[in-house]
Amino acid sequence: MRPLSKSELRGALVPREPEDHKGVFGHVLLVAGSRRMAGAAILAARAALRSGAGLVTAAVPVGIQPVVAGQAPEALTLGLPENSSGCLRPEGAARLRAAHREARYSVLALGPGLSQHPETAKFVLLMLKSLPLPVVVDADALTILAAQESAAARRLMQGRVQPCILTPHPGEMARCLGVGTGRVQADREGCARRLARAWKAVVALKGCGTLIASPARMAMNPTGGPGLAKGGTGDVLTGLIAGLWAQMLASQRLPKDPAFCAAALGAWLQGRAGELAEAERTGYAMTAQDVIEHLPAAFKELL
């Protein structure tokens, strides 16, 4: 399989003109976090901001809203109803539908740090059914989807009008397909294609040589290294892809197949930033935050 080239990826970067304003570059709605996992929301928000998106709103349980606002000051925040465990409740879906009517978000990123609490599971399914936005689905949102009866999950995803990007690691991919992780690793290409077709989505199957698959095509990302095998790097990828996609859609300076392009570009940038962080900090000491801090250098290589 041919790896992604820099020239192809450079063409997916949204050009920036002197007269542009933040509205040109889209508004990401990030729905993430819970009492125990505020950091996931913070990392995803920071990555979305580093992507070049014009605006980022982090919608989080109200109890962690001050923490997220303090750690990602450039982002807007929206506090949502939480239960006694600090996890999102189904009532939050109506709040977000109302917010979307006012703010007109470009892309939804759903999943980092949400938890799999039963009330949160109901919230996630309501969001996917009723919020008419392109969506990046990751982490707990993927696991919640995988826990549904397979035909029901397939109907839900195929019934969505707006496009979807899925960002599973091999374990999440295995749960989505109802197979063992070993089978996923033995046939990464086949599993990525199978999920892309079954759920009518673009799939970024994370791991060594991240695969980006749509129902029509597939590519392999050549960047990245073992230093990315750390908690939080998946949250970075979710925020980054959502921000890149928002720019493509809002600016209407669209490459062909923007969902595929956003997933591929996000994977390359995260992987290259990870390589740079590993060279400076070592694979032992680097963290997901170091990946975010090296994104500017990764962008410069493409520019």
If you average pLDDT over residues 33-48, what whole number do you get?
98
Q: For residue 98, give Cα distances in angstroms to 35, 101, 130, 135, 249.
A: 24, 5, 11, 17, 21
Mean pLDDT of the chain: 96
Nearest to 269 by CA among 55, 58, 48: 48
Provide the pLDDT for residue 242: 98
Reported in sequence order, the residue ranges of the chain that DSSP labels E, i.e. its strands, are: 27-31, 55-61, 76-80, 107-110, 135-137, 164-166, 202-205, 211-213, 218-220
0.95 cut: is pTM over it?
yes
Provide the pLDDT for residue 221: 96
Residues 6 or more apart whose Cβ sits within 8 Å of residue 111 = 31, 32, 124, 136, 137, 138, 139, 140, 141, 142, 238
User: Cα 81 vs. chain centroid, distance in angstroms?
Assistant: 22
Provide the pLDDT for residue 102: 96
Tell me, letter by letter, the H, E, C secondary structure of 144-200. Answer: HHHCCCHHHHHHHHHHCCCCEEECCCHHHHHHHHCCCHHHHHHCHHHHHHHHHHHCC
Span of 46-60, 63-77, 243-257 with lowest mean pLDDT:
243-257
Provide the pLDDT for residue 16: 93
Answer left, alpha or beta for residue 252, where phi above 0 means left and psi between -120 and 50 means alpha.
left
Provide the pLDDT for residue 6: 87
pLDDT in tens, 9-25: 998 999 999 999 999 99
If you average pLDDT over residues 201-227, what whole number do you get?
96
Q: pLDDT at residue 38 above 90?
A: yes
Q: 240 and 2 in contact (C-beta within 8 Å)?
A: no
Partners of 164 in the β-ladder: 135
Q: For residue 62, give Cα distances in angstroms to 31, 54, 137, 190.
A: 12, 24, 22, 41
Instruction: Spell out the domain ranges in the chain.
Output: 21-214+221-269
Q: Which CATH code is given to the segment(s) 21-214+221-269?
A: 3.40.1190.20
DSSP H or E segment with residue 300 = helix 295-302
Percent of the chain scored above 90 by pLDDT? 95
Provide the pLDDT for residue 20: 95
pLDDT in tens, 253-281: 877 899 999 999 999 999 999 999 999 99
**CA separation for the pair 175, 125 (Å, rounded):** 17
